[in-house]
Amino acid sequence: MRLHVVALGCQMSVADGGELAQPLIARGMRPVAEPKDADVIIINTCTVRQHAEDKALSLIGRLKTWKDENPARILIVAGCAAERLGGRLSKRFPHVDLVVGAKVIDDYPRLVEEALAARFDLIVQRRGNFAAPGVPFGWTSPVCAQVTVMRGCNFSCSYCIVPAVRGRESYRAPEAVLAEVRAKTEAGAREIMLLGQTVNSWRRRDAAGRKRRFADLLRDVAAVPGVLRVRFESPHPHFVDDALISAMAEVPQVCGHLHLPLQSGSDRLLGLMRRNGSTASFFEKARRLRSALPEIELSTDIIIGFPSETDDDFQRTLEAVERLRPAWAYTFKYSPREGTEAAGRPDDVPPEVKEERLARLNALCDGLNEKAMRSRVGRVVKILDETGGYGRARDGFRVKWGTPAAPGREFRVRVTGASKRTLLGECHER
Ligand code: 5AD
Ligand code: SF4
């Protein structure tokens, strides 16, 4: 039995794709790279913007021929778009065998068992809310492992569909997180990426009844033998507090990069977006981070074209980005999502204005990115070899140096040039 998994969207979706695959792999299914070689395909979908959902729908549509070639094949559609569309998906695409929404991932092993048992005599063990510790499933290099620590989002940004499709926050027990980190480092992982929709809101009591917060979890994960690096994605600025900043500054394994989504530089728009913070509070956090960690690089998310965005609002966004100097940025055109508060307002920024603002913003962000990359030429950076001659510096920049290749090792590389979002270098140390 051969399995192919496609994960669209964010890192949570990629990690969930791995989790959806695990019970099947544990039962002897073999992952294959090509859909045509598969008996079962799982698509983990994204719906954060309409474009992401359309991509999933067109892929599902194209897989009708795959299914027609052999009707015993099984197509499973999971994730955020599956949650949003539910039964509408099976109606529109009768060749889909199972729809598993992001909220019912707990129930997935049972659902998939029911879907598969009839056809393949396959029994899938029931598991908890999160996958049991296991070897990393291969989308990222085995050197870098992802560990989900929380799911869901308790915020209610007015443009965002995530709280509706992923539900309220739930936090994984610290013992379970650490067990998975240990299992993955024993299997060769050297970098641990902690994952969650608002990952740093994590807090939970341990078995001994002690209150643990995200900063404590970071320290505990970093202390696991074999862990050279810890990263986390995606943090929410609201929970970037002194405890977290101190942990980042004090724990050498924690990498000097933080993703800090700003969304807009206009306080009027941040209010309408219900962002739970102003530009002043945002920049205060950025300032504290940079004074505690002078080498830290920040990245950000920006939405342009939110309903009622004026030239003046947009100008403030450009100024804020210039002030923040993100090493890189993810920029998005506003996309109305059914059922969100913002979708109740007219989507009144004309498409050509959105296009022009996005192009101007991207030009600014690309310029900042290039500048940051160029400033590294001539410097020596510490890299973790991920896939043999290729890896990342601690601040997140991708580096390619060729030889020697030693996956899992951290060493120094002198940067000699930069090309297309990747730094080029040569080894400085053997
Ligand atoms: N339209 C455009 N961008 C959005 N994002 C979330 N919802 C929307 C939307 N409706 C962006 C935000 C968030 C990132 C993951 O996606 O910038 O931080
Ligand atoms: Fe969406 Fe806001 Fe939650 Fe992020 S914090 S997932 S943007 S609602």
Helix residue spans in 148-301 (DSSP H):
162-166, 174-186, 214-222, 242-250, 267-272, 279-292
Ligand 2 touching residue 277 (CB < 6 A) = no
> Quick one: 271 and 354 in the same domain?
yes
pLDDT top residue among 201 and 26? 201
Residue 296 DSSP one-character state: -
Domain annotation covers residue 343: yes
- Say which residue, 332 or 428, is predicted with more confidence: 332
**In this structure, is residue 14 part of a structural domain?**
yes
Q: Mark whether 337 and 362 lie in a shared domain.
A: yes
Identify the CATH number of the domain in which residue 188 sits: 3.80.30.20
Q: What is the pLDDT of residues 37-65, one digit of tens each?
A: 999 999 999 999 999 999 999 999 999 99
Cα 265 to averaged position of ligand 1 atoms, centre (Å): 15
Ligand 2 contacts CB of residue 176 (under 6 A): no
**182 and 306 together in one domain:** yes
What's the one-letter identity of residue 63?
L
Residue 131, token pair as written in the block:
């996958």
Last residue of a domain, one of 358, 374, 390: 374
Say if residue 304 is in the same domain as residue 390.
Answer: no
Residues 201 and 250 in one domain: yes
Please report how many Cα atoms fall inside a 13 Å half-sphere around the Cα of residue 90, on the Cβ side. Answer: 11
Nearest ligand (C-alpha, residue 332) = 1
Pocket test of ligand 2: the residue of 155, 330, 332 to mutate, having most ligand atoms within 8 Å of its CB, is: 155
Question: Residue 428 has what pLDDT?
Answer: 74
Domain span at residue 157 reads 144-374
Backbone angles phi, psi at 298, to 5 degrees: -110, 145
Amino acid at 310: T
Q: Which ligand is nearest to the CA of 168?
A: 2
How confident is the model at residue 430, as a pLDDT?
58
Cis-peptide, bond into residue 235, ω within 30° of zero: no
Packing angle between helix 351-374 and helix 311-324, nearest 10 degrees? 10
Nearest CA to ligand 2 atom 2: 157
pLDDT digits (tens, 9 = 90+) for 345-370: 999 999 999 999 999 999 999 999 99
385 and 369: one domain? no
24 confidence band (pLDDT: 50, 70, 90): confident
Instruction: Check whether residue 229 and residue 350 sit in a common domain.
Output: yes
How many domains does the structure of the chain reveal?
Answer: 3
Q: Judge if 344 and 414 occupy the same domain.
A: no
178 pLDDT higher than 70: yes
Residue after which a domain boundary falls, among 329, 344, 374: 374
Q: Shortest CA distance to 102 belongs to which of 47, 157, 51?
A: 47
Domain of 14: which CATH number? 3.40.50.12160
Q: Which of 104, 120, 136 is the last residue of a domain?
A: 120
In this structure, are 99 and 168 located in the same domain?
Answer: no
- Higher confidence at residue 336 or residue 405? 336
Is there a domain that residue 138 lies in? no
| 153 C-beta closer than 6 A to ligand 2 | yes
414 and 348 in a common domain: no
Q: What is the pLDDT of residue 23?
A: 81
Q: Is the CB of 155 under 6 A from ligand 1?
A: no
* Tokens, residue 57: 């729908």
Residues 161 and 98 in one domain: no
pLDDT-based confidence at 28, cuts 50/70/90? confident
331 and 255 in a common domain: yes
Residue 85 lies in a domain: yes
Ligand 1 in contact with 337 (CB < 6 A)? yes
Ligand nearest to the CA of 340: 1
